[in-house]
Structure 1
């Protein structure tokens, strides 16, 4: 009996430790260095509860975050939406004392940086600048310091919607699963731009034979993700309100399907934003802003095509970015328009979502990254 009691206590302690070992990092449009720009919360992966552990002031508009592969460093797009501004900043996250420490910043190479991605080896950082339609490549030191960019590509051409596509607008920069290629949806030009990434070169972005693929005109490709099996890729279109599915191999995309992210009753004024796939590869989730403010849910078929499952309100307005925790149990939505964060529990069989816990208030929250340590 005594041994059984010890076993139960030990098991409960282990479960509690395990469930408290996942962290969510939130960025926001704070517009003021005296207010919190980055907030860090622990995610209880048993209940979905978020508990604040630290935050950081002293920076303006850390609108998008990404983490180094080892989780030691947080990189942020800073000075987003600031006229004549634009930078990328680095922070160290100390797991032991749960602190966030500023390291340094560099000019982003263009106005309004909106997306960052880090190479798995920790040595490179790539950002996309929306307003000027450019991409910059930064070396990263072993201590997490960002060095000045070594490459900066400016794109000029736009597309047919002169109100929104007067010129190129890079909206994301995403590595292929093997980190040999980088894909850059260009909302302004209706293109997904493609470069090879040669980690051994001092200027790693290299031209490829097919430098881009075109999307439907006025679709406005925005965010991009790969299936865990590496065979399929998906791009959400902000203006077209659809997801394009592609087969993928060695830097080449081939179109499989284009499917609406919206219920039938919504015919225009689309504002689709973010896209992610559950870790088990069974479901794809896409966020819609504007009139809807929901998450569209799709099941992923064996051939990579999508089948609509349903929709879940995000319980707020303007869900710009969302994330799925590494266990696949929870989806966290950031509602910029209502300054709240909502946690949903995933049904791993049906893909459907159910709100859990209380809403968290973070002013103008704009992005989330989730990592298990």
Structure 2
């Protein structure tokens, strides 16, 4: 969109929200794009895409040109990663390519800032795959695959490795792999100029509390601290970070005192200003725990916000820090919250968006 002021053409900025889902049938819509009204918090549909099965997790390229999806199959070796081109002027989303992951349930993927690499985590098999990306967004066949077989103390949930996320360090020189099955965060060095970029880091793993089930992982904007949400332990672990090494600082509960067990913590994000951390709880809670972040990286509980839906699997915060959007696959709703930058507290705005099986959300301004 162009706005003309005094004869000068200015590009109007639009904020788009990308949503993936468990559609269970690729003949139905699976990926959706909405525009976010940054005053009222209203979501207006822009486009959607059929022909992709269970695009349960999405990520965007650094330049916003491409959307990448991992598609859960529930069938052995049938999982895949796919790429799509988003054109903000035409408001169109177009399929580009797809590659097998070597597993049935890919659950997370991340793109390198240079646009040349994609890393995927397969939950069920406990494996990680690395793919080159061509300039036009085409995903090439995977060139590396790592299998993690080690389990931990809970035989029902931790019989083997279960990689739940793949996260680059702030300088993109390392990759961290929280393994719910092994109670470890694996660390790998990433060298973009090598044909096979991933190699085991000097410190190959950081242990987490036994039975905690590390899930998602994020870095503080200052690059000095890292935070891992533990699905089974209902806690966030805080780490000092330096050059590929994590050193534990704190472990704090994500749940309030009224919830003593059956933890299902899921996602974790930090506000762009670095002042607050947010952690989602599913199960009986269906809320987001809010923490203030001290200068030394440690957390202090501020409060809890109901997400107004069932099973807040993922959420995200926009680059301005004003909005937080939650995806609920069980209730089939996406909910927009306005964030108070001073207090860190959240307030629901706009109407709930009804989308069957919606499971993942990303926000980007163009």
Name the counterpart of 1:142.
135
Q: Does 1:98 align with 2:75?
A: no
In the alignment, which of 150, 156, 162 is matched to residue 157 of structure 1? 150
Q: Which whole-Å deviations, capped at 9, do the CAs of 1:172-226 have from their partners, x for residues lacking one?
A: 0000000000000000000000000000001000122211010000000000000
Q: Which residue of 1 aligns with 2:304?
A: 311
C-alpha deviations, 1:248-284, integer Å up to 9, x for none? 0100101010000000111110000000000000000
**Residue deviations 1:298-332 (CA, integer Å, cap 9, x gap):** 00001000000000001000000000011100000
1:316-349 Cα offsets, whole Å, 9 max, x none, are 0000000001110000000111000000000000
CA contact (8 A) 1:63 1:80 kept: no
Q: Would you say the 8 A contact 1:133–1:169 is kept in 2?
A: yes
Q: Is the 8 A contact 1:135 1:154 kept in 2?
A: yes
**Counterpart position of 1:79:** 72
Matching residue of 2:161? 168
Larger CA deviation: 47-56 vs 124-133: 47-56
Instruction: Return the offset for 1:130.
Output: 0.2
Structure 1, 81-90 or 300-309: larger mean CA deviation: 81-90
- The answer as to whether partners of 2:78 and 2:102 remain within 8 angstroms in 1 is no
Q: CA RMSD in A?
A: 1.5
- Shift of the 364–82 alpha-carbon distance from structure 1 to 2, 3 Å rule, reads farther
In structure 2, the partner of 1:259 is 252
Does the CA contact (< 8 Å) of 1:81 and 1:111 recur in 2? yes
Runs of 4+ in 1 over 4 A off after TM superposition: none
Q: How far apart are the structure 1 equivalents of 2:278 and 2:76?
A: 33
Cα distance in 2 between the residues matched to 1:82 and 1:48: 38
The alpha carbon displacement at 1:106 in A equals: 0.3
TM-score w.r.t. length of structure 1: 0.95
Task: Find the aligned partners of 2:71 and 2:308 in 1 and give their Cα distance.
Answer: 27
The answer for the alignment partner of 1:212 in structure 2 is: 205
Aligned in 2, Cα 1:237/1:22: closer, same or farther, shift over 3 Å? same
Say whether residues 1:53 and 2:46 are aligned partners.
yes
- Which deviates more, 73-82 or 99-108? 73-82
Distance in 2 of aligned mates of 1:177 and 1:80: 31
In the alignment, the residues of structure 2 paired with residue 253 and residue 43 of structure 1 have an alpha-carbon distance, to the nearest angstrom, of 37
* 1:45/1:63 CA distance change after superposition, 3 Å: same
Q: TM-score, normalising length from structure 2? A: 0.96
Contact 1:64 1:367 in 2 (8 A): yes
Give 1:79 shift. 3.2
Q: Is the 8 A contact 1:289 1:320 kept in 2?
A: yes
Question: Are positions 1:29 and 2:22 aligned together?
Answer: yes
- Return the offset for 1:84: 4.0
1:334 equivalenced with 2:327 (yes/no): yes
- Which structure has more helix as a fraction of its residues? 1
Does the CA-based 8 Å contact 2:55-2:70 persist in structure 1?
Answer: yes
SS in 2 for 1:208: strand
- The CA deviation at 1:111 is 2.1
User: Is 2:271–2:317's contact at 8 Å kept on the other side of the alignment?
Assistant: yes
Structure 1: runs of 5 or more not aligned: 1-8
Counterparts of 1:258-297 in structure 2, within 5 Å, are 258-297=251-290
For structure 2, list consecutive stretches of 5 or more residues without a partner in the other structure: none
Counterpart in the other structure of 1:64: 57
Residue aligning to 1:4: none
**Contact preservation (8 Å) 1:30, 1:61:** yes
Aligned residues: 361
Residue 80 of structure 1 contacts residue 114 of structure 1 at CA under 8 Å; is this kept in 2? Answer: no
Contact (CA 8 Å) 1:180, 1:198: kept in 2 or not?
yes
Cα offset, 1:83, TM superposition: 4.4
Query: Who is 2:126 aligned against?
Result: 133
Corresponding residue for residue 300 of structure 1: 293
